[in-house]
Amino acid sequence: DAGITQSPRYKITETGRQVTLMCHQTWSHSYMFWYRQDLGHGLRLIYYSAAADITDKGEVPDGYVVSRSKTENFPLTLESATRSQTSVYFCASSQRQDSGNTIYFGEGSWLTVV
């Protein structure tokens, strides 16, 4: 049971470069999410997706792009990385939109922008 996997786990990139963080889930969950976690801010929602080809902005979407051509994949792209995007990124999934659905998180991708 692989669950939800993220890659790369650790990445160092330079300012201005494009970076893509990959997320893959094996449960066929409809909903997928990207969060960033920073000290003092907790988890902040970047983008979410209700199904393939349906995405929407969360709390902090600026500077990020997502796509979801297949149910199981939800890549997050930083088009031109900035130092303020240094963070830990968590991908997550959830089965339904019923109230109180469990959110399953990946192990995180540590991104450093220098």
Partner 1 sequence: SQKIEQNSEALNIQEGKTATLTCNYTNYSPAYLQWYRQDPGRGPVFLLLIRENEKEKRKERLKVTFDTTLKQSLFHITASQPADSATYLCHPGKGGYNKLIFGAGTRLAVHP
- Kindly list the residues in this chain that would bind partner 1 in the complex (CB under 8 A): 31, 33, 35, 40-43, 45, 48, 50, 56, 58-59, 90, 92, 94, 97-100, 102-108
Q: Among residues 64 and 90, whose Cβ is nearest to partner 1?
A: 90
Using CA atoms of 57, 113, 38, 51 in order, give the dihedral in degrees to the nearest 10: 30
Q: Among residues 14 and 88, whose Cβ is nearest to partner 1?
A: 88
Contact 53, 69 (CB under 8 A): yes
Cα separations (Å) of 53 from 73, 95, 110?
A: 11, 17, 26
- Minimum CB–partner distance for residue 77 and partner 1 (Å): 20
Return d(Cα 81, Cα 13) in angstroms, integer. 8
- Minimum CB–partner distance for residue 17 and partner 1 (Å): 25
Contact 14, 83 (CB under 8 A): no
Q: Among residues 14 and 100, whose Cβ is nearest to partner 1?
A: 100
- Minimum CB–partner distance for residue 3 and partner 1 (Å): 10
Q: Among residues 81 and 92, whose Cβ is nearest to partner 1?
A: 92
